Chains A and B, each alone.
Chain A
Amino acid sequence: MAKIKMKKKSTSTDMTAMCDVAFLLLTFFILTATAKIPEALPVDTPASTVQTKLPDSELAVVIIGKDQGKNKVFFDLKGREVRKRALELMAEKYGLTFSEEDKTKFSLMTDFGVPIQSLKQIIDMKSSDRVKADQPGIPIDSTDNQVKEWILNSRKANNELQNAIGGKKELEIAIKGDAKEEYPVIKKVMDILQDQHVNTFSLITGLRGKDF
């Protein structure tokens, strides 16, 4: 009797190609992902169902939060060139001088919450120390309204740079407030914006479903 020999099939598939693709994609996602930068003033934003994403550039964020029972206002500006120019304009306004090195360092920083007079100390710190530095917040009183100046000068800086490259993008302003923050504090910032005829701005929120 003739024996029919079944060809032994290998159970393992060749996964080299799959592995290649997987790692290629992995590399892509790792490289495109932006690392989460620690915030100097952590805030718990309220949630909304609106799903508009914030732009990555031409953006200024006013962060309003409570820290140790005090209302603090922090400021963040995206884009290195804009930051540099805004700092120059602010220094001019308050009669301060920053070295070129300081400006470069400042352009790489994120949010800060100190009066311009003590900004140099924050610039000199290491980024890990800045978070722990217990920053007092930017003055927002009517006598010394630096938040207003920061917004104004950032917009100026943005316009200058946009003019230089022939663009027309206005600086967008977003408010990032803590959910438990009282409305008058937010209103103060909104009033500053409206005084500068910025009537359209964004509120940064978290995400939630419609069933609440």
Chain B
Amino acid sequence: MAELNTDSGGDKGGKVRSKKQNSKVDLTAMVDLAFLLITFFMLTTSLSKPQSMSLGLPDKDPKDDSKNVKVDENRTMTVLLGDNDKMFYYMGIINTPMAPKDIAYGKDGIRKELLKRKKEVLAYSTAKGRPDQGMIVIIKPSKKSTYKNVVDILDEMAISSIPTYTIVNDFLPEETKLLDGK
């Protein structure tokens, strides 16, 4: 640091030798840091973009009176979304052949049932000679259900790859009673 050349006036013939400095700089730390930052930016750029779930609803035209489309009740499953993350489901028409059953969200609840029923419906359709007709799921979110419930159930549809599903907002009197009752 404080090395001043004080003997300049002394021997005139002497050569002034400058110390050879090492030209190499240790870049290890710098490279480490650069790669750390690269990793960070790479991961954040691809993950920061939000995911989206596309949802197609049937056209609702007040003039159009094709509301009463006849579907085979053996192919339908109705899912009712209640408050406090409750959910009921039934196959076909309410109370025939089965009464609405309480079921939980997630892989041990609705997903198992969906996959099972999907197979059954497919077997039924194939027996009838129409294997292209898959299961139809009607989702009925009640007024007390949350947005999370709706997205969860739509997600289940995507996971179990249900061919046809829709959101319906009309409730049968029995369904209203069921959702209010318990």
Contacts and interface: CB of A to CB of B under 8 A. Distances in A.
B24 A12 contact: yes
Contacts of A154: none
Contacts of A179: 146-148, 151
B151 A203 contact: yes
A187 B150 CA distance: 11
A96 interface: no
Given A183-B146, A199-B59, A205 B107 contact: no
Contacts of A186: 147, 150
B55 A183 contact: no
A86 interface: no
A205 B53 CA distance: 7
B50 A204 contact: yes
Interface in A172-212: 174, 176-187, 190, 194, 197, 199-207, 210-212
Nearest to B169: A187
Nearest to B83: A182
Contacts of A165: none
Interface stretch (A1-9, A51-59, A107-115): A51-59
B53 A203 contact: yes
B53 A202 contact: yes
A22 B146 contact: no
A181 B51 contact: no
Contacts of B55: 200-203
Using C-beta atoms within 8 Å of the partner chain, give the interface range for chain B: 35 or more
Contacts of B154: 48, 203
B170 interface: no
A133 interface: no
Interface string B18-48: 0000001011101100110110011011011
Interface stretch (B1-9, B117-125, B136-144): B136-144
Given A46-B151, A54-B51, 16 more contacts: A19-B30, A25-B34, A26-B41, A29-B37, A33-B41, A33-B44, A34-B48, A53-B50, A53-B51, A180-B146, A182-B146, A183-B146, A194-B57, A203-B54, A204-B52, A205-B155
23 contacts: A15-B28, A18-B27, A25-B34, A29-B41, A34-B48, A50-B51, A53-B49, A54-B52, A179-B148, A180-B148, A181-B146, A183-B144, A186-B147, A187-B141, A194-B59, A194-B60, A197-B59, A200-B55, A202-B55, A203-B54, A203-B55, A204-B52, A205-B155
Query: What 4 pairs across the A-B complex have the smallest Cβ distances?
Result: A29-B41, A22-B34, A15-B27, A179-B148
